[in-house]
Amino acid sequence: MSRQSQGQGDIYDNPSSTVRYEAYSRLQAAAVAFGEQLPIPEIVAIGGQSDGKSSLLEAFLGFRFNVKEVEMGTRRPLIVQMVHDPSALEPRCRLQEEDGDDYSAVIPEASIAEAIRERTEVHLRKLGATVSSKPIVMRAEFACAPNLTIVDTPGFILKARKGEADSTPDDILAMVKAQCAPPNRLILFLQQSSVEWCSSMWMHIIQEVDPHFQRTVMVASKFDNRLKEFSERWEVDKYLAASGYLPPNVKPFFVALPKDRSTGAATSADWRRAIQGVDSGVKQHLQESIAGGFDEERFASRIGFGNLRRFLEEELARRYRDAAPATLALLQERCESVARELVGADKKMEEAGDVVSLRRAAIGYVLGIASKVEGILEGSPLIDPMQFGWTTEEERSAAAGGNLWPGVVAAVRPPNAGLRLFGGAAFERVLQEFQEAAKCLEFPAVQRDRVANILLAYKSRNGGGVGKAAEELARGAAREAMEPLLAAACARLGAVVKRAYDIAAEQAQQQRGPGYERLRPYVAFHAALRSAFQAFVQGLEERCKGIVLHHLETATSEYAMGLLAEPGPANDAPSVYDASEGVAHGHGADENEPTMERLPFAETQQTVPETPSPDVLTVNKPDRLRRAALAAAGGRNVDDESPGKGRLAKMPRTAMAAPAVAGSPYLTVCHQAAHLFGRIRQSVACQAVPATLKSAFLEPVGSQLAAELSVEMVGRTDENFMGLFTAAGVLSALEASRDALAKRVEGLVRCKDEFQELARCL
């Protein structure tokens, strides 16, 4: 710390201090008026309990409010905002509300201590604690006070008192460190002069928060108590030098304050005169009562409260001056920034009624949204899936009510159901979920009467019997089960595409590009754009639904039954979609017929079929006679598989019945129908529909979305188009914003100019 000259006269009322106070006031008032935060220096007083912090605070204020005499002492930080007001001949003190920024009415000087005590007790009782880090804020306006903020902190203690929590010492230590942390705060460390610096119990705290003592001021309080121990000059000089105990750059101050704290007789003016009287008495004692006096050249500027106050004032002025270049640069930057905002506001005002400019902005925004939607459906690594992705359950919850997969009773859980997906990934997962749901569809139970009606009707026309009946049942069941499932798949995929628009709109809002900022107030425009996109997706849904239902009609037509019923050698392997387990597939072709996989047999390799032996026919003849007799006695039965009279039964194209059910036409029909149902389901859900849905949904988004949205939004008459940009109050809001910016530019320029002028007075 630099050496300070000793000022003469009243420390509370001298020309140099008055100039500084006025400069601080004008500077801070200008900063507050124009919303700027400047690095205003502050002071935080720390020390052990009863080291005199509260008394020192009163000395800075220039009046007493007896915080020290409060029974609980300082149990919460007290932030005192001193405001130099030449018109306030008596102090005007207000306490800030506990849960707000407003201040109370003016509190009389004699009642401040009681108000602080009550607030402290109520707050601590509510917390159930003995100390609290939440500060009490007091604003003090006074002619004798500088523009300065001082923070009075609870005193350090080694052990909690009776009735206090055991953690009280640590709690106080933590809150004091927090108050010392801001770099714009000077630390005023107080220690009673009766304690040697080498024996200080709290010096380590300073070393933690300010290791190099660059913003720490050491103060030995109650210095008048230590004077009684000195009789010779060398003793005084040795103590004042503190050699070997403090770093060389630390020069402590030695302060004594009046001990008479009676509140009834003395006024604030008497208190201020008493402080200066104590300073004079200490100096006189050192000069007259100590043999040889003391080294006044080295130590006189650091003895007495007046010198401490002047030092702090000059230190604050120095810090203001050091911060002046950075502050001026900050103000200049703010002036230029707000000036640019003002130019932009003027441009917005001009373009607000220009239809050509609005069309240009609208088309740019529409194309940007369409591009974002396309990118999301293609897969974008720039979007956070934790913020925008949904799990399968969340997608189902957001979908419209009702059964998501009609006809499916089992739980459907597709792969990656628990991952948060969006866009193209969510689209693919819905397709997988659709296939899983289709796999759960089973051929329904068929009443025996229904089978009998169909079977007998076909037999009466000699149209195929069992095979035709199975085809009819399978086709009807497939249409009934698959049609609502396909409609649900289209709706779910449409919801995924619509969700991509929501993500794109939110991305545009977060990025806040110039186009979005300009169009943001026009709610009608954004609503119309969303409606146009919804209509586009709805059209895709209807188109896709028509295409996939056409696939279903094709797969269930009579002409597709032959392909489904007679699988070639390549399809002999059972499918996961085939519900007819255990069905034995026929070989279909003669073993002598050449296949696709091998060369034709030579003539010597071919097998010539033998003529059946008459013995075989003789063995089977009694059985045929018995069955014919039963048929003659009981009539024809749908459960009897006897051939037509005098003819061999025709082999239907769907005759794949397993040997176990060959004796019952009802079971045969059901078995074949279930088999065909599984093949229809596989053909639709696994082969045709997935590729169709991808093509019908995703390709138009890339090739048609931007054009259709642009035509819908911009292809309007000027009158209709401007109807989207007539939001109530937008024009007046732009005017108000422009006027506010103009005033702010003017105020910032004035604040910058005033700071340049005031910096010379600091």
Query: DSSP alpha helices (H): ranges in 512-613?
Result: 514-519, 523-555, 561-565
- Between 612 and 646, the higher pLDDT residue: 612
**Cβ-Cβ contacts under 8 Å for 383 (sequence gap 6 or more):** 376, 422, 423, 503, 507
In-domain check, residue 662: no
Residues 202, 120 share a domain: yes
CATH of the domain at 481: 1.20.120
- Between 544 and 758, the higher pLDDT residue: 544
Residues 255, 132 share a domain: yes
Residues 383, 487 share a domain: yes
In the structure, what pLDDT confidence band is assigned to residue 351 with cuts at 50, 70 and 90?
A: low
pLDDT tens per residue across span 283-329: 999 999 888 889 889 999 999 999 998 898 888 778 777 766 777 77
Query: Based on the number of CB atoms within 10 Å of its own CB, is 722 exposed (0-12), middle (13-18) or buried (19 or more)?
Result: middle
In-domain check, residue 14: no
Rounded distance, CA 23 to CA 29, Å? 10
In-domain check, residue 331: no
In-domain check, residue 405: yes
542: pLDDT strictly greater than 60: yes
- What string of DSSP letters covers 283-322? HHHHHHTSBT---HHHHGGGBSHHHHHHHHHHHHHHHHHH
405: pLDDT strictly greater than 60: yes
Residues 246, 107 share a domain: yes
Percent of the chain with pLDDT over 70: 73
Structure tokens at 527: 């609503």
Residues 296, 428 share a domain: no
**Dihedral in degrees, nearest 10, Cα atoms 729, 735, 739, 745:** 110
- Between 26 and 321, the higher pLDDT residue: 321
What's the pLDDT score for residue 600? 53
Residues 398, 298 share a domain: no
In-domain check, residue 353: no
Point out which residues pair with 150 in neighbouring strands. Answer: 43, 80
CATH of the domain at 284: 3.40.50.300
What's the pLDDT score for residue 446? 79
Long-range contacts formed by 744-751: CB under 8 A, 24+ apart: 744/34, 744/35, 744/338, 745/335, 745/338, 745/339, 745/342, 747/33, 747/34, 748/34, 748/36, 748/331, 748/334, 748/335, 748/338, 749/335, 750/30, 751/30, 751/31, 751/33, 751/34, 751/36, 751/331
Residues 167, 63 share a domain: yes
What are the angstrom distances between the C-alpha of 239 and each of 85, 89, 188, 213, 571? 40, 40, 20, 20, 106
What's the pLDDT score for residue 356? 80
Residues 253, 395 share a domain: no
- Between 568 and 698, the higher pLDDT residue: 698
The pair phi, psi for residue 142, each rounded to 5°, is: -160, 145
725: pLDDT strictly greater than 90: no
Using alpha carbons only, how large is the chain's radius of gyration in Å? 48
Residues 509, 385 share a domain: yes
In-domain check, residue 580: no
The arithmetic mean of pLDDT across residues 470-482, rounded, is 83
Q: Which of 256, 275, 303 lies at the terminal end of a domain, its last residue? A: 303
255: pLDDT strictly greater than 90: yes
In-domain check, residue 30: no
The arithmetic mean of pLDDT across residues 223-238, rounded, is 89
Packed helices 730-759 and 15-33: angle between N→C axes, nearest 10 degrees: 160
Tokens 């005193």 correspond to 155
Q: Which residues constitute the domain of residue 689?
A: 359-565+680-727
Assess contact for 192 and 222: CB atoms under 8 A: yes
What's the pLDDT score for residue 130? 83
Rounded distance, CA 546 to CA 432, Å? 21
The 3-state secondary structure of 434-463 reads HHHHHHCCCCCCCCHHHHHHHHHHHHHCCC
Rounded distance, CA 169 to CA 158, Å? 6
In the structure, what pLDDT confidence band is assigned to residue 219 with cuts at 50, 70 and 90?
A: very high
In-domain check, residue 516: yes
pTM of the predicted structure, to 2 decimals: 0.50
Rounded distance, CA 274 to CA 293, Å? 24
Number of separate domains in the chain: 2
Residues 369, 281 share a domain: no
What's the pLDDT score for residue 312? 87
DSSP 8-class letter at 108: P
What's the pLDDT score for residue 37? 59
Q: What mean pLDDT value characterizes the chain?
A: 76
The 3-state secondary structure of 194-222 reads CCCHHHCCCHHHHHHHCCCCCCEEEEEEC
Query: Based on the number of CB atoms within 10 Å of its own CB, is 270 exposed (0-12), middle (13-18) or buried (19 or more)?
Result: middle
Residues 172, 71 share a domain: yes
Cross-sheet strand order for the sheet of 42-47: 92-95, 136-142, 78-84, 148-152, 42-47, 185-192, 216-221, 253-254
Rounded distance, CA 654 to CA 561, Å? 9
Residues 275, 423 share a domain: no
